[in-house]
Amino acid sequence: MRVVVKIGTSSITTSEGNINSSAVSALCDEVASLRKLNHEVLIVTSGAVAGGVAALRLGQRPTDMPTLQALAAAGQSRLMQEYNVQLDRHDLVGAQVLLVPNDFIDRHQYLHARQTLVRLLELGCVPVINENDAIASDEIRFGDNDRIAALVAHSVSADVLILLTDLKGLFTADPSVDPKATFIETVKADDELLSVRAGSSINTRGSGGMASKLAAARIASWSGVRTVIASAKRANVVVDALNKVADAGTQFLPRERELSARKLWIAFAAQPSGSVTVDDGARDALARKNVSLLHAGVTAVTGDFSAGDTIEVKDLRGLVIARGMSGVTAVQAGASAGLHSRDLVDGVTQEVIHRDDLVILIG
């Protein structure tokens, strides 16, 4: 099996912000166990910025982007050094891979990154992946590694995505403030994963939270990848999560692999350049039928997009119901909103988004 394991900053660093050698060691021990069973493993790791804070003895994490990027550069090499030391104990070779959003947004770069990751696995390496915080701009960055892990799982056609965190898994409420919160063992593929109320990280060392993990699980589910949210502190957590051991975390069951790789890329990897809002009639037609989005159903247009750009489709309540590759520019979409095909000016295609370029995100 092909497994992607993501570990967050709070799970891989100490309370002082130093890289936790014991946590890296425990993770690499489990990776080695999986490799002995002929499983392929990719690690998505946080911790570079926290490692830089500790290395430079700053005491607390700064907030300005230039300093954070400098700290990521200082901490990333130390983070990778720790992984190399721990993987070397098992005669495994770690391979650093630093990604930025463009590696998923640009189709050519997306395929190139996928080829590199797959080739590393073929060579017997353990890819150790992180966002390239040292060069990612404030405007164009992921901000946490949960989404990166899900996109990597999709890219390499992983069987399982394991998101390690401070909690046992998903609860009905925040267990730190609600003593009645109960653990959720399984989330089915047809559940609305993002409808569960969850908060962002309250830990100053990390940037993610349960909300970002639910979003990642949703991406993975649509990719046909089973996802597990589990505690990094649990013994043998990766092996048990892979083997579906009871109480080893919350299992998110995958959808059937109905979408092509291209549509999955449109749905979850490409950066949207704008959006169109549709009326209830168009919303129902898109949800129930395999149809294209026509100008007649559009009520509003936002953003500055060109033909071929990925855009979101929202209903009148602001819910994103679909994503697709636009067949027109934003100017054409705005000027043609509400018009029937017979009333369009010459040169404007009838479809705002053709059904072959459209991914419906609601049931």
Q: Residue 7 — φ and ψ, nearest 5°?
A: -125, 135
Percentage of the chain surpassing pLDDT 70?
92
Classified by CATH at the fold level, domain 2-261 comes out as Carbamate kinase (3.40.1160)
Residue 320 · residue 355 · CB < 8 Å: no
Q: Looking at the predicted structure, is the pLDDT value of residue 126 above 90?
A: yes
Among 259, 73, 43, residue whose Cα is nearest residue 162 = 43
Distance CA 48, CA 68 (A): 10
Among 96, 222, 227, 259, residue whose Cα is nearest residue 149 = 227
pLDDT digits (tens, 9 = 90+) for 168-193: 998 888 888 888 888 899 998 777 64
pLDDT digits (tens, 9 = 90+) for 296-321: 999 999 999 999 999 999 999 999 99
pLDDT digits (tens, 9 = 90+) for 57-88: 887 778 888 888 898 899 999 999 999 999 99
Burial class (CB in 10 A: 0-12, 13-18, 19+), 35: middle
Q: Looking at the predicted structure, is the pLDDT value of residue 198 above 50?
A: no
Phi-psi category of residue 272: left, alpha or beta, with phi > 0 → left and psi -120 to 50 → alpha: beta
Would you list the domain boundaries of the chain?
Answer: 2-261, 272-360
Q: Looking at the predicted structure, is the pLDDT value of residue 238 above 90?
A: yes
Mean pLDDT across the stretch 317-342? 95
Mean residue pLDDT of the chain comes to: 88
Q: Looking at the predicted structure, is the pLDDT value of residue 223 above 90?
A: no
Per-residue pLDDT at 207: 43
Mean pLDDT across the stretch 113-119? 96
Among 172, 159, 166, 100, residue whose Cα is nearest residue 129 = 100
3-state secondary structure the chain: CEEEEEECHHHHECCCCCECHHHHHHHHHHHHHHHHCCCEEEEEECCHHHHHHHHCCCCCCCCCHHHHHHHHHHHHHHHHHHHHHHHHCCCCCEEEEEECCHHHHCHHHHHHHHHHHHHHHHCCCEEEEEECCCCCCCCCCCCCHHHHHHHHHHHCCCCEEEEEECCCCCECCCCCCCCCCCECCEECCCCCHHHCCCCECCCCCCCCEHHHHHHHHHHHHHCCCEEEEEECCCCCHHHHHHCCCCCCCEEECCCCCCCCHHHHHHHHHCCCCEEEEECHHHHHHHHHCCCCEEHHHEEEEEECCCCCCEEEEECCCCCEEEEEECCCCHHHHHHHCCCCHHHCCCCCCCEEECHHHEEECCC
Residue 79 · residue 51 · CB < 8 Å: yes
CATH class of 272-360: mainly beta
Per-residue pLDDT at 27: 96
Residue 97 · residue 129 · CB < 8 Å: yes
Q: How far is CA 176 from CA 44, 63, 171, in A?
A: 26, 26, 10
Among 215, 40, 209, 38, residue whose Cα is nearest residue 120 = 40
Q: Looking at the predicted structure, is the pLDDT value of residue 195 above 60?
A: no
Q: Tokens 């901000």 belong to which residue?
A: 143
**pLDDT band for position 140 (cuts 50, 70, 90):** very low
